[in-house]
Structure formats: structure tokens, C-alpha cells
Chains A and B, each alone.
Chain A
Amino acid sequence: MSLLSIENIHTYYGNIHALKGVSLNVEKGEIVTLIGANGAGKTTTLRTISGLLKPREGKVTFNGEDLAKYKSHEVIYKGICMVPEGRGIFARLTVTENLEMGAYSRTDKTEIQNNMEKAFTIFPRLKERRTQVAGTLSGGEQQMLAMGRALMSNPNVLLLDEPSMGLAPVLVELIFDTIQDINKSGTTILLVEQNALMALGIASRGYVLQTGQIVLSDSAENLKKNPTVQKAYLGME
């Protein structure tokens, strides 16, 4: 049984049929990547998993449990946490306050404190800027904060939506290294990326999404070699 699996989901925005029967699964301890062009429905998929959107058809199961019965804000209590596209940090709160908000679903004070220390070890830059207002952090720091905040909830699965967006190549490396570290410490990761090459570099498997449908799924190695993927997403002829 997969840790997270979605079966044949159809998600709509009003009349717009954004996901047309998407199925995928993520095993415990894996890094799985979901790649696709702009508007393919990657963000929509993550938002559906984290309960912010309700699919009209199909189901999302986590640990074998159907998530349909949970409200949007209850999903995080199951151990699924999303780092949204564009980071979605709380701009007017400080770094520390942002991290505290990440632990909103937890009540154990000492555990929260430990998680905070852990986040600061992973992202020392955040520790230096503890009291700074998050809106004034640089783009890279904001991404770190968004990831650190997600870790505060001790998630089983981390959903990352384009963590490399708008970052300089050096920072992208750093973020991807960190993703691997987080994964090694036991967090399963579903990674949405435009930067397919980097994503396939750290993932074990990948899915290719095109206009709301999965068109390919294979191991990362094979996807990298696949001529269609090379042409469309890796910029090779």
C-alpha cells in the first residue's frame, strides 16, 4: 500500500476542467517529482491533495485512509504539508512567528521548540534573521522560510510546489540539496518542478502531466532518457 495515492481525480475551477483523471502514488521514503508545462495542472494536483480543492471525482488516500471526509484545515493533522507556489509566507509576521504558525497543528511545546531548532539547523540563515519581518527577506530566504515552516508540523509527506522558482542557480542547488537531506531524515516528498532536469536528478520516480492528464510515468533515470521528455522539458533536441 502506498503512503499517498490519488486515484483518477477530476478537479474543476467552476466549469474549467483542470484535472482530468489524474492518478499517482508515492511510496514511503521516496522523492517523487511531478513535471509539466505551465498550466498543466501541477499546482492544482497539490492543492487537491492538501484539501484546498475538493475533487469532483476520484479519491485521495493517505495511509489507506480516504481524505475526502476531512476539511481543508484538517489535512495537515494527518501529516501532509504543502509549501505553496510563490512561498505564501506571512509577510507581516517575523521569521519566528512564521515558524510558530507552521506548528499551529501541534500542541506539544517542547516538540515545537525542537522542531524550531531543527529548522534553524537546516537553514542557519533563518536563525540569523529570526526577528526580521518575513516580507523583507530575499526570495531565497523566503523559500527557506516556507520550507522551514512546513517542517514545523513534522509532516510525513511534504508537497513542494516549484521551490526553485525565481532563484539563482547557486541557491537552487542549495535548496535541492536540502530537499535531499530532509528526505534522508525520513520525510517523503512530492516535488512539483519546472526545472525538470534538477528534479529528475534527485527523484527516484517521476510523472509527466499534460493539460490535466498524466501522460508518462517512469523511473527518473528512464524519464531523463525519454526522447519526448528530453524534447519538451529538458530543452534538448
Chain B
Amino acid sequence: MSTQNQFNWKKAIQLGAIAGIVGILIALVGMVETFDKRDIVAGAISMGWTMLLLTVLVAGYFSASHQTSNLFRLSASGITGLIFSLIMSLLALLVENFDLRQTLVNASPQLIRILTFENGIPNGLISLIAITTIFGILGGVLYVTPSKIRKAISLGLSIVVLLGLLEDIIQVTLAGLGGASSALAWMFGRGAQSGLSITGAIVVFVVVTASNLLWDVNAPKINSQVEKMPANRQRSLRVLGYGLIILVVLYLPTLLGLYLTEVVNVTGLFILMGLGLNIVVGFAGLLDLGYVAFYAIGAYAVGVLTTLSGELSTSLGWNFWLALPVCIFLCVMAGVVLGIPVLNMRGDYLAIVTLGFGEIIRILALSDFLKPHIGGSQGIVNIPAPEFLGVLLNKPQTLYYLIVAGCILALFISQRLRDSRLGRSWKAMREDEDVAQAMGINLVATKLLAFATGAAFSGLSGTILAVKLGTIYPHSFALLISINVLSLIIVGGMGSIPGVFVGGLLLAGMPELLREFAEYRLLIYGALLVVMMQVRPEGFWPEETHKRELHENEHIPAQEATS
């Protein structure tokens, strides 16, 4: 503790350098340039700049956290910001004076133009240094503001960025509502991909931040008022709430239109799989990397059972609704079949074996051996769309209801299981298998039930995928899907049911919406996972106990800070 009252130069400089390296990386892989085409706030801040500014903001924040007094905190974040800005200027100078494009394709004049705000080297650099330094200091300011206000501000900023990013989609949706579109036109920039207008951004930020603060202050009062209400009033309030949600869910496809509904559908299928894997990995602690296998089995099963095709040896032409339970049963059996050999495996061994299982299923689907039955690399085509009460579920807007029904069913089952005796034995098994067994938990049954339930959800997702696409190929079931689903529950929060939805929206929904940046998808994925593991290992919406454990030692100082 000799550094009690000393300025922590080392951290301030270190964080500035780290931020600088991140900035260079973002610039040189081409993200600044590509993302610059999209404005977050029209004419003011592009997506590319947002990334750089966020980097320095976060660095400033952490730089402040290593100092002992507020003056030190703000100076440290300023120094961090300054170092970042100098590194970025150096990059601009390098790119300007040397032709690096041979090796670094993205070290282009366009990059300099963006970095210098189109002002050229000497003048633009001054703005660059000033602005990024200010953002570094703002990070420090954010650190010293009380946590409630900080939360509100962060939420406000995030919503502005999110709305700016999704501006096109929001506009399209609003257009569907008629009058609302013109009434809200002032909020958005003119032209495509122009984000929010400056007024729009300010209004959104102020409204979100203020309402969050107001809610924070008044929530306990409102809650206690609701609690004081007579039971039947409370019940009707809850019914009203659920009613509203149901109404929105039912009306959503009309509101969103074709493209967005499709995005929601894809997200829904991932959420459905996520809910299943959450049981296996999150509840029961069994690291399964071959989860895509059940997705494939569900899809192929429905393909074989319902398709009428001359090319396949079996051509059953069953009704979808008849085939569905059979498919799910097959997946459950597959879950058990995978489960039995891995009963005695834990951790890494389990992960490797399940990984192999996933690949075996994919390669079997691809094999000549099964080609007469399931089509080999050509897959199965012309899978008929299901019919429900005379409506053909062949459009995103109608399939939406099938997917939502699946998700609600899986959600309901997950929730009931979590709070059940079985749910508790999963958790106990996750913590300590031997002791769980000594407490009377049948490990064999408990593990197999976890695999089977997970497989059922994934299989359901697979059957819907098959009828949605109408065509399935082995390559639709690559390892990457398992990894995506796993990342989704890690980002959302292991074992947390709402976390699956958050993770699904972030890792399946967002990439679908931001297709133009698809080439950076895995890069952003990786960065997100690394940052998550460092900063928020419990996920965005963690299960209660997990959060408690990971932040136990931070608990007391945090309380002091708010009081």
C-alpha cells in the first residue's frame, strides 16, 4: 500500500496504450472505414467513430478506477485519453507519409479523412486529439458520478447508439404505422443509414436517462403501492400486463413486416436452442459442444417423415403435426444415446466427446452410406410447409407464430424445471457430483434427463428450421452453430433464462440486422466474449446465485459508494 497517495502513472499510461492498440486494430482491420458508412447521429457521429470513442471512454473509465482521489481520477483519464489520441495521430501520420497499403489494405487515404474529420493532417489532428482526450476524461467523469446516475447515462447512451444503428429498420416499421412515421420524422437523419438527427439523439438521451433516474427513485414507492393493493386488484394488474404482452406478441409480425419478422424468426430458433443448451450447460453443468447434432436430427427427421420425394428411399409424406412428436421423441432418444457413454466424463473430456458426436452426425448426413435415405450432400428438398387450421405456415409472418409457440413452450418448461426437484438436483450435480449422489440424487437419471430435455428443445428448433427453409443440407449443421448457441448463453448468463433471450437478441438478432458488417461478425463475437469474461463473467442477465458468487468481494465497497 505504498502507492496510497501517489498518482498511478503506470496504469494511466498502460490503459492509454492498450486503448491505442485496440484503436489501431479497429482502424486497420477496416472497421472504422466500413462502419463509417453508417451514421449514429446524422452528420455528427458515425458508427466507426462511435467504436473509437467508446474504446477511449472505457479506457478512461478504468484508468480513473486505479486512482485514489477524484482529481487524480480525472487527470489519469485525461492522460489515458491523450495517449490514445497521440497513438491514433501517429497512425494517421504513418498512413499519410508511407504507403502501407501493400500489407495493410485498410491503411487508406479514406481512413485519414475519417480520423482527421476531413480536415487534413495538421488541422484535423488537433480536433482528433482534442475530441478523443475529452472522451477519455468523460470516461473518468463517468467513473466519479454516483452509480445510479452512471447507470442511467450509460443506458441513455446505449439506447441512442442502438436506435441510431437500427434507424432504417425503425423507419420502415414506423412507415407501416402510417401517421406515426411523419410525426416522428424529426428524430431521424435524412437519407438512408443516417441514424438519429442531432435533436433526436439529444431528446432520446435525455428522455431515457431521466426516466431511468425517475424510475430508480420511484420504483420502491410504486412497488410498495402495488403490494398494498388488494389481491384481486394486483391480479387484474398482472392480467393487464400479460394481456398487453400477448397483444404485442400477436401483433408483432404485422408491425414488423416481412424482413424483420424473418430476423425475429431466426433469433427465435436460436433462443429455442439456447433454452435447451441452457439446461444442459447452465443448469446441469455438462459442457456440450455437439449440441447442433440434435438440431440436425430434428430437421432431418421431419424432412424424412414429411417429404414426398421420388429421390429418397423412404417417402412417407406424413402430416407435420403427426411427425413433430415423433421427431422430438427421436431427439430425446439421441440425447440419451449421447448421454450414456459420457456418464462418467466431466469438463474437458465431456466437451471433446460431445464435439465429436456433433461432427459424427454431420458427417453421417453427408455420407454416401445414408445418401439413399437422407440425400447426402444434396440434402432433402421440398419439405412441405405445415398447415394449421387451414393456414399454410410458409411465410415468415405465419411461421413466426409456430416459433413463438415453441419458444413459449420451452420457456415454460425451463422455468418449471428450474424450480423443480429435478432442477435442484441439476444444480447440485453441477456443483459436486459425488456429494450430490451422497445426498440421494440419481446421477445417471439426472444427467440423462438433462441431455434429453436439451435435445428435445434443439430438435424442436431443428424441425421448425426444416419446414421454414423447405430444404436442408448437411452444411447447415456445422460446428459453428453449437459454438454460437454456447456463446449466446455465456453472453446472456449461464443458467439464466432471461439471459438466453438477451444473448439471442445480441448474438443472433443483431448480426442478422447488421448483415453489411458480416465479415466482422466473428471478430466482434470474439472480442465481445473476451471482454465479457474479463468485465462481466456472469453475463448480461445472470442467474441470481451466480451473480452473488462472482461479485461477492465487490459487494461492500459498492454499497458504500451508493450511500
Contact = CB atoms under 8 A, between A and B. Distances in A.
Nearest to A103: B439
A52 B437 CA distance: 8
A71 B438 CA distance: 10
21 contacts: A52-B434, A72-B437, A73-B437, A73-B439, A76-B440, A77-B440, A84-B434, A88-B438, A90-B427, A91-B431, A91-B549, A92-B431, A93-B428, A101-B439, A104-B424, A104-B441, A133-B545, A133-B552, A135-B549, A149-B439, A153-B440
Interface string A118-152: 00000000000000010110000000000001000
A107 to B, nearest CB: 9
Contacts of B549: 91-92, 133, 135-136
B340 to A, nearest CB: 16
B211 interface: no
Given A90-B436, A133-B549, 16 more contacts: A50-B438, A52-B434, A73-B437, A73-B442, A90-B427, A90-B431, A92-B430, A92-B545, A93-B431, A93-B545, A97-B424, A101-B424, A101-B428, A102-B439, A104-B441, A136-B552
Contacts of A89: 432, 435
Nearest to A90: B431
B548 interface: yes
A101 B424 CA distance: 7
Interface string B442-465: 110000000000000000000000
A82 B438 contact: yes
- Looking at B424, B432, B439, B545, the one whose CB has the most chain A CB atoms below 10 A away is B439
B439 A105 contact: yes
A133 B546 CA distance: 9
A84 B437 contact: no
Interface in A69-101: 71-77, 81-82, 84, 88-94, 97, 100-101
A6 B443 CA distance: 25
A89 B436 CA distance: 10
A92 B432 contact: no
B414 interface: no
Contact of A76 (B431, B432, B439): B439
B425 interface: yes
- Looking at B434, B435, B441, B442, the one whose CB has the most chain A CB atoms below 10 A away is B435
Q: Which 6 A-B pairs have the closest CB atoms?
A: A105-B440, A90-B431, A88-B435, A76-B440, A104-B439, A73-B442
Interface of B: 421, 424-425, 427-428, 430-432, 434-443, 545-546, 548-549, 552
A49 B441 CA distance: 17
A90 B428 contact: yes
Contacts of B431: 90-93
Contacts of A91: 431-432, 549
A91 B548 CA distance: 11
Interface residues of A, number: 30
A25 B441 CA distance: 27
B427 A93 contact: yes
B434 A88 contact: yes
A46 to B, nearest CB: 10
Interface of A is mostly: mixed
Nearest to A87: B435
Nearest to A100: B424
Contacts of A88: 432, 434-435, 438
B438 A52 contact: yes
Contacts of A104: 421, 424-425, 428, 439-441
A153 B548 contact: no
Contacts of A136: 549, 552
A84 B435 CA distance: 7
Contacts of B421: 104
Contacts of B430: 92
A234 to B, nearest CB: 31
B320 to A, nearest CB: 41
Contacts of B437: 52, 72-73
Nearest to B431: A90
A88 B443 CA distance: 16
A99 to B, nearest CB: 11
A73 B434 contact: no
Contacts of B436: 90, 101
A127 B427 CA distance: 22
B116 to A, nearest CB: 51
A69 to B, nearest CB: 15
B440 A90 contact: no
Nearest to B430: A92
A92 B439 contact: no
Contacts of B434: 52, 84, 88
Nearest to B555: A136
A135 B546 CA distance: 11
Contacts of B435: 84, 88-90
A149 B432 CA distance: 14
Contact of A74 (B424, B440, B546): B440
A25 B299 CA distance: 59
A77 to B, nearest CB: 6
Given A133-B545, A133-B548, A71 B424 contact: no
B445 to A, nearest CB: 9
Nearest to B446: A73
Contacts of A75: 438
B441 A92 contact: no
A76 B438 contact: yes
Contacts of A97: 424, 427, 545
Nearest to A149: B439
A82 B438 CA distance: 7
Contacts of A52: 434, 437-438
A81 B437 CA distance: 11
B438 A81 contact: yes
B403 to A, nearest CB: 33
A93 B427 CA distance: 8
B432 A90 contact: yes
A48 to B, nearest CB: 13
B511 to A, nearest CB: 31
